[in-house]
Chain A
Amino acid sequence: LAKTTQPISMDSYEGQEVNITCSHNNIATNDYITWYQQFPSQGPRFIIQGYKTKVTNEVASLFIPADRKSSTLSLPRVSLSDTAVYYCLVGAYLTGGGNKLTFGTGTQLKVEL
Chain B
Amino acid sequence: NAGVTQTPKFRVLKTGQSMTLLCAQDMNHEYMYWYRQDPGMGLRLIHYSVGEGTTAKGEVPDGYNVSRLKKQNFLLGLESAAPSQTSVYFCASSPSVPEAFFGQGTRLTVV
Q: Smallest CB-CB separation from B33: which chain A residue? A: A101
Interface size class of B (residues with CB under 8 A): 20 to 34
A49 to B45, CA, bound (A): 20
Q: Smallest CB-CB separation from A90: which chain B residue? A: B98
- The reply to whether A93 and B98 form a contact with Cβ atoms under 8 Å apart is yes
B45's partner among A32, A41, A94, A102 (CB-CB below 8 A) is A102
- The reply to whether A93 and B43 form a contact with Cβ atoms under 8 Å apart is no
Q: What count of chain A residues pass the 8 Å CB interface test?
A: 26
- The reply to whether B102 and A45 form a contact with Cβ atoms under 8 Å apart is yes
A56 is an interface residue with CB less than 8 A from chain B:
no
Could you list 6 further interchain pairs (A-B, Cβ under 8 angstroms) beyond the known A43-B104, A43-B105, A100-B56? A45-B102, A46-B100, A101-B45, A101-B97, A101-B98, A102-B59
Interface residues in chain B, defined as those with a beta carbon under 8 Å from any beta carbon in chain A: 4, 30-31, 33, 35, 41-45, 48, 50, 56, 58-59, 90, 92, 94, 96-105
Interface residues in chain A, defined as those with a beta carbon under 8 Å from any beta carbon in chain B: 32, 34, 41-46, 49, 85, 87, 89, 91-94, 97-106
